Structures are given as structure tokens and as C-alpha cells.
Amino acid sequence: MGAELFIAGKYLRAKRKEGFISLITLLSVAGVLLGVMALVVVIAVMSGSETEFRNRILGLEPHVLAMNYSGHFTPDPDMEDKIRQIPGVTAVSPILFGQAMIRSSNSFSGIILRGVEPEKGAALIKGYTAEDLGAALNKTTITKGLPGIILGQSLAHAVGVMEGDRVILMSASGIISPMGQIPSMKQFVVTGTFKSGMSEYDSSLAYARLDQVQALVAAKGKISAYGIWTEQIFKVKDLSQKELGFIKYPYYLRNWMDINHSLFSALKLEKTAMFVILTLIILVAAFNIASALIMMVMEKTRDIAVLKAMGATNSMIRRIFIIKGMIIGIIGTGIGTTLGVVVCYVLKRYEFIKLPEAYPFSTLPIQLEYSDVILTAVSALVICFLSTLYPSYKASRMNPVEAIRYG
């Protein structure tokens, strides 16, 4: 192997008359370098986007929901205690989902209302501790006895209210009178806002005390689900099938992965598509490697014939040109991977690329995963290796007598 490596290295240092081959070699290295660097950076951005979306969703959603086929149901303290005792479960909170219209002195809008118990529902709102949530929803002394409500920041802007303003909530679940159905109405005071970074949440979601929402939507003593939080968010399916297996009909379980399956499937498909598209850049560079090797074989016809006459085997000739091509691939892959990692570090550290407000994040989300970097490097090297097979095979099959005669 030492002789093959020496000869391959000598061929890489082309003479002046082989300058065109040398140029193609440099272009091959540059192509592999750029392809690998672009692939590392783009896959890191896609991974970061997926992580950001997941963190924002889990900042407002329970990891598992225990619901009832009938919709609203009476809380079961025994079930709640049993869930709370499961190892790995960090919190359990009753939740009531409802829909309402919110009206202020300036505007009105439809909202999704969630009733929570402040001492149990802190995990529902990212950035709020149990004390913060309780303080916000229990502010009755400074609001003249009116219950508090927490609005999404975009929703608060849309209806033109800020902390301390009064709003009226109206629900279609009202009372029946001789004049027909009368909507239920209740006055609240805005005691806080939140920003999740997800427009569908920030523009439509509101939180209030569980008993206040129950009174508004005519579901006294009822809840819609038990929200369950766990330490191992990626093992919620195992949790649902095993530890929570005692929850039977008429109850059923939904986890955050199933609820947001379409979103994360789209992100995964996009990540795969970008990997395939950017791999084509490396594939083009691999064609350059193959072209350089083919021209090198043609240029070194007499050298190959001499080596064979001196006893070099076909496999030795093959290895010489495979090693030459792999040196190009290794140099390009190594430099490209290094530059890609450096670019990712710079983008994550300094955050100088700002995104428009249409995106849920203000800067490029970067998450560099070693498995993605290794997969990118290995894919590039495999493509480079495959590009060397045909030229090296043709070189090894060369007849030394014919090569010397016509070389």
C-alpha cells in the first residue's frame, strides 16, 4: 500500500504540461468542499428549526392529554393521583377547553379559551411559574373583584388591550329563555400576556381560572382533559402504551407527537429533500474527479505500462487511482466539514442574520448534530469512492504491450 500511496501522491503533483488536469483536480476539491460545507450548514438550520418548533409547541401544550370520548367529563381524583405517581411524570393538570368571543372597547375577536388551576397549570404557559400564574389569575383585589385573564400577545394587540384593561367574554353556551338562547357573558381584566413565537397560539389563545371558564361555557364541575408532563418527551408513546395503559374506554390518550404529526413530518421531509438536493453538488464534484482520473489514465498510459512490465498487478494499478481520487475527496470533505462547523458556530454565536417577522424566530436557528455531520462526511466520501471505480478499472485492464507500442 505504501508504493501505491507514493505513486498516487506523485500523480497529484502534476507537471506543467499536465496543468489542465491539475485545474480539474482543484475544481473537484472545491466542488466537494462547497457541497459538504453547504450541506452541513443547511442541515444544521433544518435541525434547529425543528427543535425551535418543538420547544415552542411544548411551551404551551401538555406532553400527553387524557381525554374522554364524551367531551367534557367530571374529574376523577383517583385517576389524577395514579397518573401523578408514575415515575417520570412531572405534572398533571386538569384543563377545560372552550371557545368564546372577546370584546374590548376597541375591537372583538374569536378566541380559544383554556381554563386551568394556577397551582397545577404553570407548565401550560412557558415563562410562567406556578407563583406567576397564580398571581396573574387570582388578581381580584386590584381589579375590583373581576377575574384575571392572560392573553396571547398578538391577540392583545389585535383587540387593542394591555395589562389592566377590561374585556368581555361571550360564549354560545348560555341560558335558554323564552326569547331563545342567550349567550353567556363575563367580564375579565387582562392581567398578563405571553409570547410563544407561534402565531396560531399568540393570536387566538387565552388562559383563565378553571372555575371561571366552567361558569362561562356552562360546564360546571367539568373538564376537557388531564394534561400530563413527563421528563422524557421523546418516549411519550411508550408512556401511553405502558405506564398509562390503565386508562381505558371511555378515556383515550393523545400525545404531542401525534397532535403535531403533520408539522414534524413536513419538516423531516424538507430536511431529507434538502439533503438530496445539496448532495447533487457533491455528485457534480465527483464527476469532476472521475474526469480528472480518466484524463490522468490517458496521460499516464506509458507509466502504467512500465509499472505492469515491472510486475505491478491489476489490483495495484486500481489502488493507485482509487487512492488518488480518495485523496481529493478526503481533502475536500475534511475542509468542507471544518468550514461548515465553523460557519454554524459563527451563526449561532453572533446571530447576525435577522429574519423577517413572518418567521416564528428572529434569527437562523442552528443546531449542529454530530450524527448529521458524520452522515454528510461519510456520504461525500462514498460518492467520491464510487467516482474512482470506473477510471481505476480501465487503468488496471490496460495491455502493457499495446500501451508501450502506441503510448
Burial of residue 299 (number of CB atoms within 10 Å: 0-12, 13-18, 19+): middle
Where residue 316 falls among pLDDT bands split at 50, 70, 90? confident
* Res. 238: pLDDT tops 80: yes
User: Is the same domain home to 112 and 215?
Assistant: yes
What's the DSSP call for residue 60?
T
User: Is the same domain home to 267 and 401?
Assistant: yes
User: Is the same domain home to 148 and 32?
Assistant: no
* Per-residue exposure over 85-95, b if at least 16 CB sit within 10 Å of its own CB, e if not: eeeebebbbbb
- 248 found inside a domain: no
User: Is the same domain home to 223 and 316?
Assistant: no
What the block records as the C-alpha cell of 56 is: 415552542
Side chain identity at residue 354, one-letter code: K
Q: According to the 3-state scheme, what is the secondary structure of 192-210? A: EEECCCCHHHHCCEEEEEH
Measured between alpha carbons, how far is 191 from 173 in angstroms, rounded to an integer?
A: 25
Where residue 139 falls among pLDDT bands split at 50, 70, 90? low
Phi (first) and psi of residue 390, to 5 degrees: -65, -50
Average pLDDT, the chain: 83
* Res. 66: pLDDT tops 90: yes
- pLDDT digits over 107-121, tens only? 888 899 999 888 776
User: Is the same domain home to 96 and 42?
Assistant: no
* Res. 141: pLDDT tops 50: no
- pLDDT digits over 90-101, tens only? 889 899 999 999
Give the total number of structural domains in the chain.
Answer: 2
**What confidence score (pLDDT) does residue 405 get?**
57
**What confidence score (pLDDT) does residue 397 get?**
76
Measured between alpha carbons, how far is 407 from 399 in angstroms, rounded to an integer?
A: 11
* Res. 19: pLDDT tops 60: no
Q: For residue 185, give its domain range.
A: 90-228
Final residue of a structural domain among 213, 228, 243: 228
What the block records as the C-alpha cell of 258 is: 401525534
Helices and strands in the chain: count of H runs, count of E runs? 14, 9
- 76 found inside a domain: no
User: Is the same domain home to 268 and 401?
Assistant: yes
Final residue of a structural domain among 175, 202, 228: 228
Report the candidate in 295, 318, 298 with the shortest Cα–Cα distance to residue 308.
Answer: 318
The separation between CA 83 and the C-alpha centre of its own chain, rounded to angstroms, equals: 29
pTM of the model: 0.78
- 244 found inside a domain: no
Final residue of a structural domain among 228, 245, 278: 228
